[in-house]
Amino acid sequence: MLGSGFIGRFYADSIQGLRSKDKIVMIYSRRDEQAKKFAEDYTCDHFTTDLEAAIAHPDVDMVCIALPNNLHEEAVMLCCKHKKAVMTTKPLGRNASEAKRMLDAVEQAGIFNGYLEDLVYTPKFIKALDSVKKGALGKILWAKSREAHPGPHSEWFWDLEIAGGGCMLDLGCHCVEITRSYIGKDIKPVEVMCWADTQVKPIPAEDHAIALVKYENGAIGQFEVSWTFRGGLDLRDEVMGSEGTIWVNSFLRTGFDMFTTGKGADYVAEKAETNTGWLFPVGDELNELGYNHMFTDMFNAFENGTQPREVFYDGYIVNAVLDAAYKSNKTKKWEPVDLEVWRGLEGVTKDSVYVDFDADHYLVKEEITHYGAKKLILKEKVSGKIVERIC
């Protein structure tokens, strides 16, 4: 495990608590006292402040990167050098160029690579995506993902050089991968329109952003992200198709509500701002945030010699979409997604989902009125005229 902080401990709780056969044997931290404490807490055999020594250790089969964004590339290159399987927290890079170098390196080295995008492994997302893939919503027209909270835990997130961006890179990476999964990961994202600003926090990066992502088949992905939201961690998805809709609330309001004056109250849930009043605890954070399913997929794929659902290529696509979003925020225009590498479908057209009513008409809408009549709104195929029929 590279990194002994917030996300490293979340990962460790899941890794050593799920399959009962996976063990963290080495912990690297930039601070000796934190490395030692982590090793004690998780019964690691070894700890060090030497990054290469941690990766190269003979007991290590796989490396998990839980480091600040600016250290991902260095760690990945060392994994390639020592031929160690690697999985890294999101985002893959601070930008698409950085992500592309890491993608190229792991593929040239021929090593296992996994992209730790936990929010596409949540139980609700997995169920929703399965329904979408089975056609329950028809053609996906629009997919929206929102993540908002009061801001990240560690100081480095607030440093533009170290992090590479603000809330859009930190949270938007989740949302882009969620929405492109619903739309279809083989459908090319083509251009982005974005608004972002620094509204509350005294930082050089954005703390609030909203963007639209156009896909080649005509679908729209949308993300809303914020470090200015008050009230906890808000994770929500909406998917709209020609035959249905899905709404997902993953964290803030999940049917577990509690009121307390604060007596005896302690930790409630990730990003909760208070432990008094009405609270929204989460039954099993590791599971609800996708960590358990994610590491099960990663380790099973590694053992079976297959690819996990999320690999460095996915992280690269996400970085490329976010690069276009950052550019759009500056130019105030739709900006193309620059993809040096694309492995999905090519030349996809915008398919029609018009419904035939009869040989001469399309069906626009059918409804039962409050007075009991059946109303049909139709479009004449030849003239294009909209007509109404009462049955």
pLDDT, residue 70, reads 98
* CATH number of the domain within which 27 lies: 3.40.50.720
Q: Is residue 347 part of a domain?
A: no
Under the banding of pLDDT at 50, 70 and 90, the label for residue 11 is very high
Same domain, 158 and 81: no
pLDDT, residue 285, reads 86
Same domain, 189 and 331: yes
Between the two ends of the chain, the Cα-to-Cα distance in Å is 68
Element (H, E) at 303: helix 291-304
Same domain, 240 and 126: yes
Within 10 angstroms of residue 368's Cβ, the number of other Cβ atoms is 10
List, in order, residues 6 or more apart from 378 with CB less than 8 Å away.
Answer: 357, 361, 362, 363, 364, 386, 387, 388, 389
Same domain, 188 and 295: yes
* 364 compared with 251, residue with greater pLDDT: 364
Question: 121-130, 202-211, 267-276, 315-324: lowest mean pLDDT where?
Answer: 267-276
Same domain, 202 and 156: yes
Structural domains counted in the chain: 3
Q: Is residue 96 part of a domain?
A: no
pLDDT, residue 37, reads 97
Q: What is the pTM for the complete model shown?
A: 0.93
What are residue 260's DSSP bridge partners? 277
Q: Is residue 201 part of a domain?
A: yes
pLDDT, residue 268, reads 66
Same domain, 244 and 202: yes
Q: Is residue 113 part of a domain?
A: no
Same domain, 191 and 259: yes
Under the banding of pLDDT at 50, 70 and 90, the label for residue 271 is low
* CATH number of the domain within which 152 lies: 3.30.360.10
DSSP annotation of 2 reads: B
pLDDT, residue 201, reads 95
Same domain, 78 and 49: yes
Cα gap 142→130, rounded to integer Å: 17
Tokens representing 206?
């954005």
Cα gap 78→93, rounded to integer Å: 15
Q: Is residue 186 part of a domain?
A: yes
Q: What is the mean pLDDT of residues 44-73?
A: 98
Same domain, 28 and 60: yes
Name the E strands within 16-55.
Answer: 26-28, 46-48
pLDDT tens digits, residue range 169-223? 999 999 999 999 999 999 999 999 999 999 999 999 999 999 999 999 999 999 9
Q: Is residue 109 part of a domain?
A: no
Same domain, 308 and 369: no
Under the banding of pLDDT at 50, 70 and 90, the label for residue 267 is low
Element (H, E) at 241: strand 234-241
pLDDT tens digits, residue range 106-128? 999 999 999 999 999 999 999 99
Same domain, 325 and 382: no
Same domain, 297 and 371: no
Does the structure show a pLDDT above 90 at 262? no
Q: Is residue 104 part of a domain?
A: no
pLDDT tens digits, residue range 134-153? 999 999 999 999 999 999 98
pLDDT, residue 270, reads 66
In terms of residue numbers, what domain contains 303? 119-336
| Beta-strand pair 277-279/140-148 | unpaired
Q: What is the mean pLDDT of residues 351-374?
A: 91
Q: Is residue 170 part of a domain?
A: yes
